[in-house]
Amino acid sequence: MTTFALIGAGPGLGLAAAHRFGTAGHHVALISRNARHQDDLAAELARENIHARGFTADVLDPASLTAALREAADTLGPVEILQFSPVPRGDFMKPVLETTAADLDDPLAFSVKGPVTCLHAVLPGMRELGRGTLLFVNGGSAVRPNPRVAGTSVAFAAESAYAAMLHDVLAPENIHVAQLIVPGAIHPDAEHSSPQALAERLYTVHTERGAFRHYSEPMPT
C-alpha cells in the first residue's frame, strides 16, 4: 500500500482530495500544524474506510516537514503522491508598494523552500517504487501577477518555476509533476472549483500524467 501525502490538510480541498485518493486505495498522511484538525479529518475519513493519520509539521520549518514525511512513509507506506496545497498566511498578501524585502522572506520560504524540502523527503521513496506524482495547487497569481497580493504573486511564480523544472527532469523516471491553477475562490457550489471537483481533477491529473499546467477553469479576462 502506498501513501497520498497532503501538505496543508484542511476541511475543504484537503479533505476532498484525501477522500478521493483514499477511496482509490491509498493510505492518507494528513500534514498540517494543527493536530486536533488532523484527528477530526482522520476520523471522518475512517467512516469511509480510509486509513488516514495526522502528522504535525509547519511548512516554514523544514526539519519538521521532513520528519513528518519520513514518519508517514515509515508508518503508512512509501509516499507515491504528494499534494502541496497549504493556504498562505494573510500577511503574505500586501500590495506591491507596501511590500518590503523582509516581507518576502516567509512567502518564499513557504512556497519555494517548502516544496524543495518535500521533494527531497519523498524522492528516494518514489525512485524505489519506480513511480510517483507531485501535485502543486496555486491561485491565479502564480501565472498572472496581482499587485494587490505581491507576496503570493512573487512566491507562487517561483514555486511554478521550480515545479516546471521538476516536471522536465523527473519525467524520464516516471515521476509526474503537475500544477493545478485555481483562478478564483474554492466554493462548495462552484461547478469546476468546488472541493470535490478539484479533487477529481487532481486525481485525473495524477492518472493521466499529461501536461505540467492545468486550470480548474479559464482565467478571467
Give tens-digit pLDDT for 88-107. Answer: 998 889 999 999 999 999 99
| pLDDT given for residue 136 in this prediction | 98
**pTM exceeds cut of 0.85:** yes
Q: How confident is the model at residue 186 (pLDDT cuts 50, 70, 90)?
A: confident
| pLDDT exceeds cutoff 90 at 48 | yes
Chain mean pLDDT for the chain: 96
| pLDDT given for residue 85 in this prediction | 97
CATH topology classification for 3-189+203-215:
Rossmann fold (3.40.50)
Q: How confident is the model at residue 191 (pLDDT cuts 50, 70, 90)?
A: confident
| pLDDT exceeds cutoff 80 at 221 | no
Of 188, 206, 205, nearest to 197 by C-alpha is 188
| pLDDT given for residue 185 in this prediction | 82
Parse the chain into domains and list their residue ranges.
Answer: 3-189+203-215
| 58 phi/psi in degrees, rounded to 5 | -115, 125
Length in residues, the chain:
221
- Quick one: cell of 96? 506591491
Q: Give the H/E segment covering residue 93.
A: none
